[in-house]
Amino acid sequence: MRRQDSIREGSVLVWTVLVIAILSLIGVETLRLVTAKYQNALQTSTWQESLLAAESGIDLAIVELRKSLYPQPNHAWDG
């Protein structure tokens, strides 16, 4: 009788370890997918921010160039 209980307890231990391993694999895969999506979103937002900064710089340069078209004193390129 004691032998049957020992085998049953060992079987439960194996199943528990197996379930924990499967859940761990699912968690690791989920974390990997979320990390990849996060990196992609971060790269896209950084690219958009850089594009906005470049366009703003171009707009400022165009404003300064237009100032130089007006007659003197136009204060173009001061400061």
Rounded to whole angstroms, the Cα distance separating 47 from 25 reads 33
pLDDT, tens digit (0-9, with 9 covering 90-100), for 35-48: 999 999 999 999 99
Contact at 8 Å (CB) between 35 and 27? no
Q: For residue 68, what pLDDT is reported?
A: 75
Rounded to whole angstroms, the Cα distance separating 34 from 18 reads 24
Q: For residue 26, what pLDDT is reported?
A: 98
The reported pTM is: 0.55
Contact at 8 Å (CB) between 60 and 77? no
Rounded to whole angstroms, the Cα distance separating 33 from 25 reads 12
Contact at 8 Å (CB) between 65 and 57? no
More confident residue, 66 or 71: 66
